[in-house]
Amino acid sequence: MRLDFTAEDQSFREQVRSFLKERLPREIRDKVLNGIELARADYVLWQRRLHDRGWGATGWPVQFGGTGWSAVQQYIFEEESAKAGAPRMIPFGIKMVAPVIIAFGSAAQQQKFLPPISSGESWWCQGYSEPGAGSDLASLRTRAVREGDHYIVNGQKTWNTLGQYADWIFCLVRTDPQAKQQSGITFLLIDMKSPGISVRPIELLDGGHEVNEVWFENVRVPVENRVGEENRGWTYAKFLLGHERTNIAGIGGAKRELARLKRIAAEERKDGRPLGEDPLFAARIARIEIDLTALEITNLRVLSAESGSRAPGPEASILKIKGTEIQQAISELMMRAAGAYALPMRREAMEAGWQGPAYAATVMGAYLNQRKLSIFGGTNEIQKNIIAKMMGL
């Protein structure tokens, strides 16, 4: 694999930059670059503009509406989008359930679900974790009992991200309680407007409503919305989790936030000189930058493997571990740079009429929110076990 960019790659980069300059709304860009929360309409507007350009599904095969880009082109697009302040693609549809539908779904499911995902017409969320079934996901208890042409679903999902916006949810449900844990699970696609579904918000430390509990009470799901075979959902779930862990690494966003941290360190002063000139602080920034560069190379290797139709291997877990550690380290240094200005909560500060540095109003919320990165998608401790097992250690 080449570690430099060809003339064709550089030409593509300029094409992406030109598109972002012309089509990325300024108000959305400013929100992203300043760490301000985006609304559902912001994500949808940007997804539709990408779709109109033919870039709504960058990683999909061409026959399903994808771009046909190489791994390097996908990387360049993600990097330039993050740098420019474009919203990240909400991963649950584009990067999580869509690859499962492409790999294991029926032709009818592919025709029904994939185009609205690419166009931004349908918003998906994830129904995996349950109370008592997080890292030990195979112990989930949400039941689905088949009655004729439908499954009747009862149970609870938790830590459901942005489900308050969702049109559809992909769920793991238990269809054979007598089988061993991994063997009795089925993968269902469920309309969030179905009678019997209720979404209850979970308020986070920063006061935000990002995650939810989702309850199912005798929800009827057509059998045609089952992906693959009954009781083989664990196979599809593992495939999806590989893609999720790759995406959690957030390398493009980490590069953008690292550049922001450097700007802050150049502005803030300690003992009469810029904070960035403090040897200890500068050394911590350098350490992060070295780790991030190494992670970029690993990310390109994973993308190359995916383009060769191989599901992500232990590299996905490596990306998840290091990517989340780097993002958390950057948020911690942001807090240190802001000092006492980082104390107020974001929403409280904004409501009170913030008087401190503009960047500092959001760093506390970001720091607290990103504590979860090393937990969701499978805790980093679990990822280390996966790496050891897959490599025979």
**Tokens at 386, concatenated:** 């996966």
Q: Which of the following is catalytic: 244, 257, 296, 306?
A: 244
Tokens 């929100």 sit on residue: 31
Q: Which amino acid is at 316?
A: A
Give every CB contact of residue 52 below 8 A, 6+ residues apart in sequence.
none
Q: Is 8 a catalytic residue?
A: no
* Angstrom distance (rounded) from CA 164 to CA 211: 8
Give every CB contact of residue 388 below 8 A, 6+ residues apart in sequence.
none
**Tokens at 54, concatenated:** 């033919």
Task: Tell me how far CA of residue 326 lies from CA of 154, 161, 165, 218, 249, in angstroms.
Answer: 39, 22, 29, 43, 9
Q: Are 122 and 109 in contact (CB under 8 A)?
A: no
Element of type H or E holding 7: helix 7-23
Collapsed DSSP state (helix, strand, coil) of residue 250: coil
CB atoms within 10 A of CB 249: 26
The residues annotated with a catalytic role in the active site are 244
